[in-house]
Amino acid sequence: MARHGVAMVWLRRTLRLADNPALAAAVAEADEVVPAFVLERRGDAAWPEGASSRWWLGRSLEAFSAALAGRGAGLVIREGDAAEVLPALSREFGATAVYCDCRYEPDLAAADVRVAATLERAGVTIRAYNCSLVTEPDVPRTVAGGPFRVFTPYFNACSNLPLPGLPLPAPDRIPSPPIVPRGIQPGTRTDTAGGAPQNPGIYWQPGEAGALAHTERFFSEAAEDYESDRDRPDRFGTSRLSPYLAFGEIGPRQLLADARALTEHGSAHPAAAGARAFVRQLYWREFAYHLLHHFPNTTERPLRPEFEAFPWVEDSVGFEAWRAGRTGYPLVDAGMRELLTTGWMHNRVRMIVASFLTKDLLIPWQEGARYFWERLVDAELANNTLGWQWVAGSGADAAPYFRVFNPVLQGEKYDPEGVYVRTWVPELAAVPNRWLHRPWEAPVAVLVDAGVSLGETYPAPIIDHGEARVRALAAYASIRGDGASGLGRS
């Protein structure tokens, strides 16, 4: 491999020092390394970054800049079209190579082809590395040579692939030019009007240090009960690592290695079962990228063509009640308010609120996907697309068309003591457990004692779930003639 005097590391969603193949290669192959980040103008793109992502990115760049400084390097941040900014930076620093992470989202992958061509015309070599996935999205393939559409066969196929190498250590030192002029200061990307979480800093610590702290907490405290507790929003039973993965502040290869360290002990280790369940969730994310790679139009259109004819309805009033957490269904409202406040929502609750939007209200899944994209700090296009199409029944590995989550029963099962609802819907805090997930059925005296007035203190249900379920089943039955009855696993 030819050695370079100066190389640039073009950082995107790999804002970490450890297990960063692009950074490690640059340090190994160049005398000096210039870490650079381009704030790309993507306002006219199909999926520009949402407000919550912009908030996280600003904080993450601040943390990464400080981490680089501790290893002897600076961070150059410029704004503009990467196809123009990177050749200019290469001339400015005399860089002859650019190292970067692969991007797999359709628009971004296409943009990277254009950037690579521009750099190569300028005489600058570009090398891209898989920094964000365990397995490349075009691997594995079915026996017939096509992509997988169902998760379990995909997971089994991945399990038969060679294990990835051990995570790379962070470089002890990053040789950098003596003077690194700063264009834009880290943390200045704060244009989050209209969609940022209300109090994100209380709940999150963006950056690699935060990712490592969350990882340590999960494997030492929560992994043992993860298999059962990951469905319980009333418990701190999930890893909450999704935003750190989304921004590349920790890599899936590192998490896979940490999980395998527990499963290697077999069932003897108390956290082995939880670690195995966690590995499946890592590969669910991989599956999302696999699908997006092979079916790039699914960000806007259903994977299952019969759903093009689904009779969605326009309901601006219902959509606004859903967004605001004012549907009258406590678990749905709790989830939407958690999202508004923290930029995150428990995964079980995500499925329930998505089912309510698409099946109780019959509002198109694309509208929910765009709202989540704007609000989630862990927004990833592949995950967002798979999740919404899965719940709507229009995508790969989709739940059967007849699965319509009952928000009352789901609340009673997964939040039996009402801890989650009382946290995010405080006006119901004094309602007894028996009535908490169905306050409209409580005797008036009970509500009065609890300080609740339906329609005033807390809204009455905006739709009857039983009637909505019947309507949803009729809507799904209307498109079943050409194969929609086989909508996947339950």
170 belongs to a structural domain: no
For the cut 70, the answer to whether the pLDDT of residue 267 exceeds it is: no
Nearest Cα to 112, choosing from 8, 22, 36, 10? 10
Half-sphere exposure of 80 (CA within 13 A, CB side): 13
C-alpha span between 20 and 175 (Å, rounded): 16
CB atoms within 10 A of CB 316: 8
183 belongs to a structural domain: no
- Considering the domain architecture, whether residues 366 and 326 belong to the same structural domain is answered as yes
- Considering the domain architecture, whether residues 287 and 335 belong to the same structural domain is answered as no
| Model pLDDT, residue 201 | 81
Supply the CATH number for residue 247's domain: 1.25.40.80
> Of the residues 273, 294, 315, which one is the last residue of a structural domain?
294
| Model pLDDT, residue 31 | 97
Nearest Cα to 381, choosing from 310, 297, 305? 297
C-alpha span between 377 and 244 (Å, rounded): 9
Give yes or no for a contact between 129 and 22, defined as CB atoms under 8 angstroms apart.
Answer: yes
Strand partners, 6: 32
- Considering the domain architecture, whether residues 229 and 328 belong to the same structural domain is answered as no
- Considering the domain architecture, whether residues 98 and 160 belong to the same structural domain is answered as no
Supply the CATH number for residue 13's domain: 3.40.50.620
Tokens of 116: 């690579």
Calculate mean pLDDT across residues 101-123.
96
Burial of 364 (0-12, 13-18, 19+ CB in 10 A): buried
Q: Which residues 6+ apart lie within 8 Å of 181 measured at CB?
A: 76
Give yes or no for a contact between 428 and 329, defined as CB atoms under 8 angstroms apart.
Answer: no
Tens-place pLDDT, residues 287-338: 999 999 999 999 999 999 999 999 999 999 999 999 999 999 999 999 999 9
Is it true that the peptide bond before 140 is cis, omega within 30 degrees of 0? Answer: yes
Strand partners, 439: none
Burial of 187 (0-12, 13-18, 19+ CB in 10 A): middle
- Report the residue count for the chain: 490
Q: Which domain holds residue 439?
A: 305-482
- Considering the domain architecture, whether residues 13 and 28 belong to the same structural domain is answered as yes
> Of the residues 294, 323, 352, which one is the last residue of a structural domain?
294
Burial of 459 (0-12, 13-18, 19+ CB in 10 A): middle
Amino acid at 276: R
- Considering the domain architecture, whether residues 40 and 91 belong to the same structural domain is answered as yes
DSSP state, 458? Answer: B
| Model pLDDT, residue 200 | 82
199 belongs to a structural domain: no
What band does 188 get if pLDDT is binned at 50, 70 and 90? Answer: low
Tokens of 109: 């992958």
- Considering the domain architecture, whether residues 315 and 446 belong to the same structural domain is answered as yes
Instruction: Please tell me the total count of domains within the chain.
Output: 3
Nearest Cα to 455, choosing from 439, 443, 468? 439
Sign of CA dihedral 44, 49, 52, 55: negative
Tens-place pLDDT, residues 16-41: 999 999 999 999 999 999 999 999 87
Tokens of 82: 């990467």
What band does 484 get if pLDDT is binned at 50, 70 and 90? Answer: very low
222 belongs to a structural domain: yes
- Considering the domain architecture, whether residues 151 and 228 belong to the same structural domain is answered as yes
C-alpha span between 65 and 69 (Å, rounded): 6
For the cut 70, the answer to whether the pLDDT of residue 2 exceeds it is: no
- Considering the domain architecture, whether residues 328 and 265 belong to the same structural domain is answered as no
Q: Model pTM?
A: 0.94
C-alpha span between 87 and 95 (Å, rounded): 9
Chain centre to alpha carbon of residue 335: 16
- Considering the domain architecture, whether residues 56 and 139 belong to the same structural domain is answered as no
- Considering the domain architecture, whether residues 325 and 462 belong to the same structural domain is answered as yes
Give yes or no for a contact between 193 and 50, defined as CB atoms under 8 angstroms apart.
Answer: no
For the cut 90, the answer to whether the pLDDT of residue 96 exceeds it is: yes
> Of the residues 106, 131, 156, which one is the last residue of a structural domain?
131
What band does 3 get if pLDDT is binned at 50, 70 and 90? Answer: confident
- Considering the domain architecture, whether residues 468 and 360 belong to the same structural domain is answered as yes
DSSP state, 463? Answer: S
Task: Locate the DSSP E strands across 107-265.
Answer: 125-129
C-alpha span between 269 and 221 (Å, rounded): 13
What band does 488 get if pLDDT is binned at 50, 70 and 90? Answer: very low
C-alpha span between 168 and 250 (Å, rounded): 12
Supply the CATH number for residue 431's domain: 1.10.579.10
Containing 133, the helix (H) or strand (E) segment is none
Strand partners, 33: 7
Give yes or no for a contact between 172 and 214, defined as CB atoms under 8 angstroms apart.
Answer: no
